[in-house]
Amino acid sequence: MIGRKHIVQLAILAAVCIAAYLVYRSLGRYTYYEIEEAVQAIPFTSLLSAFVFVAASYLCLTCFDALAVRYVGKPLAYRQSALASFSALSIGHNVGMAALSSGAVRYRFYSRWGLTGSDIAKVIGFCGVTVGLGLSALAALVLLLDLGPDTDLFGIDQETRIAAGIACLVVPLAYLAICLFGIPIRLGRWRLDPPRLPLAVAQVLVGTLNFACVAACIHQLVAVFGSITYFEVAGAYVTANVASLISHVPGGLGVLEATMLNILPGTRIIGALVAFRVLYFFVPLMIGLPTFLASEAYYRRRYRLSEHPMG
């Protein structure tokens, strides 16, 4: 009999296979030399400015955790929540299934610092809500603020864009209203008490700013190859990110690229997307994974010394 664990593994394998097919179909139009040439065509200044936005995004992500530990009533020093956040997300972004992968890393840190399993679950849930609020708010801004006559990124008319933008805006506004009136959210046997309004406002702002920084990073790279607005890139990124979250493919590999290539077609766009994946996913992983392993070694040594003190 196939257990739940095996079903999840099969689902992830199927998602990876679909992603691989999407990558093959998307990249099959281009030769290796075309992709290599596109990456090499990006000036160093554009790479540097893109990396600044990567750093700004991860800084916003550390604020997710800083707000979350305040929400659960266990505020920590910023350096602690920042360490847990960066280590968890630099790994989780690449592994996929963020609630589990980054959640496991968060558990290793926060359990040592006095948070219970229930507290950590609330931290993970709070951060997940912040992601949803940020995506919804940025989508609303893209749809409502970029209403020029030449705007046809999604192939919809202005009235439809306004309606979709308002629908996206309702999500963060409804959340703020729930927090203002302190209305508890019930999901079956689970009861979620909303944060105080100032904390919720900060949650919406930092969530939106995070995704705005990621879109700005991509725009710095994509704009090298043609005239494209920030709003076009932001709209494409929101769409691609939603597809990546639904697929649970590790790092959105293939899903993100395939979605953005379909929305922002162009022979050389793939070079910008390759550069983005290196800057936003692989570089933080090369820092975050050793940091996590070093912290594990440090705390294991402290535990052994406390168990067997010298003298």
Tell me the Ramachandran region of residue 212: left when phi exceeds 0, alpha when psi lies from -120 to 50, beta otherwise: alpha
Residues 105 and 101: their CA atoms lie apart, in Å, by: 7
Residue pair 69/127 in contact (Cβ under 8 Å)? The answer is no
Please name which of 296, 193, 249, 87 lies closest in space to residue 103, comparing C-alpha atoms.
87
Structure tokens at 266: 């162009």
**What are the structure tokens assigned to 23, written together?**
């990558």
pLDDT at residue number 143: 87
Q: How far is 182 from 184, CA to CA, in rounded Å? A: 6
Helix (H, G, I), strand (E, B) or coil at 266: coil
Cα separation, 61 vs 76, in Å, equals: 16
C-alpha 242 chain-centroid distance: 10
Contact (CB, 8 A) for 230 and 215: yes
CA nearest neighbour of 5 among 105, 100, 118: 100
Q: At what angle do helices 197-222 and 158-181 cross, to 10 degrees?
A: 150
Six-digit token pair at 29?
Answer: 């139009």
DSSP state of 185: E
**CB 214 within 8 Å of CB 53:** yes
Query: What is the model's pLDDT at position 30?
Result: 53
Q: What is the DSSP code (8-state) at residue 192? A: E
Please tell me the predicted confidence (pLDDT) of residue 40: 79
- Going residue by residue through the chain (311 aa), what tens digit of pLDDT does each one get? 455 555 544 544 554 454 445 445 545 555 666 556 666 788 989 999 999 999 999 999 999 999 999 999 998 999 999 999 999 998 887 776 665 678 888 988 999 999 999 999 999 999 999 999 999 999 999 888 876 555 455 566 778 888 889 999 999 999 999 999 998 877 667 777 899 999 999 999 999 999 999 999 999 998 887 778 898 888 888 877 776 665 555 555 556 666 666 666 665 677 788 888 888 988 888 898 889 889 888 888 876 766 656 54
How many angstroms from the chain centroid is the CA of residue 216? 14
* Predicted model pTM: 0.81
Cβ partners under 8 Å of residue 271, min gap 6: 35, 37, 38, 39, 40, 41, 42, 225
pLDDT, position 283: 86
Place of tokens 């266990």: 74
